Structure 1
Amino acid sequence: MARTGMHMTKKGFSFQGPADGVHALKSWITPEDDLFLVTHMGFLEIDPEHWHLDVDGLVGNPTRLHLSDLQAMPQREYMSVHECAGSPLAPTVPKRRIGNVIWKGVPLSLVLERAKISSHASYIWTSGLEWGEYADVEEAYQKDLPIGKALAEEVILALEINGRPLTPERGGPVRLVVPGWYGTNSVKWVGSITAADRRASGAYTTRFYNDPAASGMKPVWGVAPESVIVSPSPNDLLSADMPTKIWGWAWGDHQISSVEVSVDGGGSWRTASVGPREGRSWQRFELSWTPTSGQNILLCRCTDECGAGQPLTDARNAVHTVKVEVDP
């Protein structure tokens, strides 16, 4: 049942993103105009004066917080990539919906501390306030975090993005943000938090956003290592024998340790230079290149500090390919 002071402004699945895709992502910090927007059930608009957050479950002090309460609590900024996991109906199809932004808000750990979370709690359930239907499912959008991640310093109840208050389209006035994990876990329009001793049982944790693994189904949580070529793009005019630069972004839950680029369709690979990261930001990579005339097929792949890399195909983080035509 909808709370007072809120209404859906658009119903149904929705996606918005830059027309040039990843080739538009030329800035270290992604402007909101170039940052994707995805919703399962539609967009929700909430009157900030009516918004509140209920914290319950395995807590010693069930708590209701209003926006002014959160605004009065200590806040922190955190830079992080923000990436859509892609469609849960086609999880092996890469969508490359990505950006790098600065979030600001209240650490979730402070809210759980205020509510006196029980030592028996092993998961934190977070529910959004939107309503509607997605893939024949009509229920609250609810996700969960294992307690270790929920208490991590980077996980916040965000009030701002890139120095500006969250708009309704971004999940404002308050959304959960889980840096290093796919965007599906960063619940928009958050309305309730429940401490529990088990995983949430709703469709968005059981039916959707799980990948097959050797041990069974694995939740879509941490962002897998991924990289994209920003430049050149297929629309760029390149001339043979004119030195140019291939550059792009690499990212993941864990820091990227190396990036390789192929200029011959994967026949051979060259090591690119890789820049540092801040928080869980993306990292810039570069490679000098002198193109040859005709069609050139460029690929990039990265490896993180744990040794995980990118599959060539059939994965949300599959290797990115760019085809460019080079004039004689």
Structure 2
Amino acid sequence: MKRTGLQMTKTGFSFRGPDAGVHALKSWITPDDDLFLVTHMGFVEIDPVHWYLDIDGMVGNPLRLRLSDLQAMPQREYMSFHECAGSPLAPTVAKRRVGNVVWKGVPLSTVLEKAEIHTDASYIWTAGLEWGEYADINEPYQKDLPIDKALSNEVLLALEVNGRPLTPERGGPVRLVVPGWYGTNSVKWVGSLRAENRRATGAYTTRFYNDPAPSGMTPVWSVAPESVIVSPSPDHPLEAGVPTKIWGWAWGDRLITGVEISLDGGNLWQTATLGPRRDKSWQRFELPWIPTSGTHSLLCRCIDELGQGQPQSDARNAVHSVQIQVSDGGIRNDQTAT
């Protein structure tokens, strides 16, 4: 049953991102204009006065929380990269929709503890309030979290991003945020939580967002190691002999421990310097470079603390490459003359 105080402001699948793609991501904290927006069924606008969150299922104390209830609870900030898993209809195509933001909200564990989750509950089902059709499916957007993840202290019922209240486009007034996991799990316009002892049965957990594995289909949950070159970009003019640096971002659910860069399309690799991580933020890497004239195929790849790396191709976290043209300019000639 549709709630009052809700309206769809745009229907159907929607994507918005910076025209320059990953080359626009020059800031440690991604500003709103450069942070991607993706929705399956459309955008919802919710009157904050009418918003509420129901928590039920395998609980001892079913709850209905209003926005004012959440605002009165202790909140925390958490920095994290935020990445779209890409299209569930083409899961091996790397989309590289990512940013790094600071969320603020109430830890999900606080609410679940108030609801007195049964000890034999093993999943938390989360449903959004949007409605409509996606890929011939017309049903609520529902995801699930294993109970251990749901109770971890970084998972939030977020009220703010980058110091500002969540807008309707960003899933406000309240959305789930699951740092370290692909954005499909961070349900926007959240309206209900349900404790259960099995996985959710809807299309968004059964038909979509599952990957083949040797042991069978696995959920698209934890973000695999990934890295991108931000600079130089293909339209960045470079001259031979002029020192520059190749730099970008690396991220994953687990700490990234190494990044390598290739200047020749993947034949030889050099180790880049790698910066630290805060919470689950992305990490900056860089490598000094004195380019020679001609066309260069720059690649980057990373590895995490578990030894997991990036596939060369055919994966959502495939190795990123950038084609760079270096001119044989006057600066190089001057250097030759001296």
Query: TM-score, structure 1 length as denominator?
Result: 1.00
Question: Partner of 2:176: helix, strand, or coil?
Answer: strand
Aligned to 2:13: 13
Aligned to 2:80: 80
User: How far apart are the structure 1 equivalents of 2:229 and 2:254?
Assistant: 20
After superposition, the C-alpha distances for 1:28-80 in whole angstroms (9 at most, x for unaligned) are 00001100000000000000000000000000000000000000001000000
User: How far apart are the structure 2 equivalents of 1:116 and 1:124?
Assistant: 13
Aligned to 1:43: 43
Aligned to 1:145: 145
Aligned to 2:334: none
Deviation at 1:260, TM superposition (A): 0.1
Runs of 4+ in 1 over 2 A off after TM superposition: none
Deviation at 1:198, TM superposition (A): 0.3
Deviation at 1:248, TM superposition (A): 0.2
Q: Gapped runs of 5+ residues in structure 2?
A: 329-338
Deviation at 1:120, TM superposition (A): 1.1
Matches within 5 A, 1:243-258: 243-258=243-258
Query: TM-score, structure 2 length as denominator?
Result: 0.97
Deviation at 1:220, TM superposition (A): 0.2
1:259 equivalenced with 2:259 (yes/no): yes
Matches within 5 A, 1:172-321: 172-321=172-321
User: How far apart are the structure 1 equivalents of 2:202 and 2:23?
Assistant: 36
Aligned to 2:93: 93
User: How far apart are the structure 2 equivalents of 1:164 and 1:118?
Assistant: 35
User: How far apart are the structure 1 equivalents of 2:107 and 2:58?
Assistant: 19
1:112 equivalenced with 2:106 (yes/no): no
User: How far apart are the structure 2 equivalents of 1:89 and 1:290?
Assistant: 41
Structure 2 residue identity aligned to 1:18: P
User: How far apart are the structure 1 equivalents of 2:326 and 2:108?
Assistant: 51
Deviation at 1:2, TM superposition (A): 1.7
Aligned to 1:27: 27
User: How far apart are the structure 2 equivalents of 1:32 and 1:2?
Assistant: 30
Structure 2 residue identity aligned to 1:52: Y
User: How far apart are the structure 1 equivalents of 2:308 and 2:115?
Assistant: 38
Identity of matched residues, %: 76
Q: Gapped runs of 5+ residues in structure 1?
A: none
Question: Partner of 1:307: helix, strand, or coil?
Answer: coil
User: How far apart are the structure 1 equivalents of 2:120 and 2:301?
Assistant: 42
After superposition, the C-alpha distances for 1:223-272 in whole angstroms (9 at most, x for unaligned) are 00000000000000000111110000000000000000000111100000
Bigger radius of gyration, 1 or 2? 2
